[in-house]
Structure 1
């Protein structure tokens, strides 16, 4: 039973990426990561996003999947780690054969650590 729990936890944790890994690569011109803001809300509600992120609501992701580069690694985030939009987006990307993770800290944690954000225009 303990082995099953350990295997489940390993699988669960493999779906997430730590913010330090993403931050270390984001400023590079040839960054392998593409950060996607998958919140389903208009800009006036969202107000800000992770600096350099691309906004694509989870509900629209499947319709734009052909625009994505299979050579990149996609990092999706939602409002908080407990919400499901990031997980829904991750499922779509992984099911379509992309390399992808959910950002472990979500937007809430990112902002709580005073990491780079930008206003949505």
Structure 2
């Protein structure tokens, strides 16, 4: 693969936070954004606003929640995390149109783009009730 092929493939497989925000504002019905991060809930409290939360470890049993007619955008923690890439490959193998959000939630937060506090939005408590 030469450099041009590499960069064209990369552009086809990814979307920047700026591009996603702009495109989703213009045509929100076109996209289905998924937070695929694994890990304890308390470290996944902040999520991109309006993202669907389907951790990679739950993907197989929740596949029916992902619409085939939309463009799927997946994200994980940051540029070092490959969870979103694994999910993208899994979904592509099943006929979905998928892009990875570059930089994950770390890049999104760095740009001060809108986030949601899952605990606050769901009125969750840190109290386990024990």
Q: TM-score, normalised by structure 1?
A: 0.87
1:85 aligned residue? 83
In structure 2, what is the Cα distance between the partners aligned to 1:24 and 1:31? 13
Alignment of 1:17-36 (within 5 A): 17-27=15-25, 31-36=29-34
- Aligned residue pairs: how many? 119
What residue ranges of structure 1 are gaps of 5+ in the alignment? none
RMSD: 1.8
Unaligned residue ranges in structure 2 (runs of 5+): 120-130
Aligned-pair CA distance for 1:30: 5.1
Q: CA–CA distance in 2 between the matches of 1:67 and 1:115?
A: 25
Farther-moved stretch of structure 1 (73-82 vs 60-69): 60-69
8 A Cα contact 1:50 1:118, kept in partner: yes
Tell me which structure has the larger Cα radius of gyration. 2
Structure 1 stretches of 4+ with a deviation exceeding 4 A read: 27-30
Q: The residue matched to 2:29 in structure 1 has which SS?
A: coil
Q: TM-score, normalised by structure 2?
A: 0.81
| Separation (CA, whole Å) in 2 of partners of 1:75 and 1:29 | 14
- The farther-off stretch of 33-42 and 54-63 is 54-63
Contact 2:17-2:107 within 8 A present in 1 as well: no
Residue of structure 2 in register with 1:14 after alignment: 12
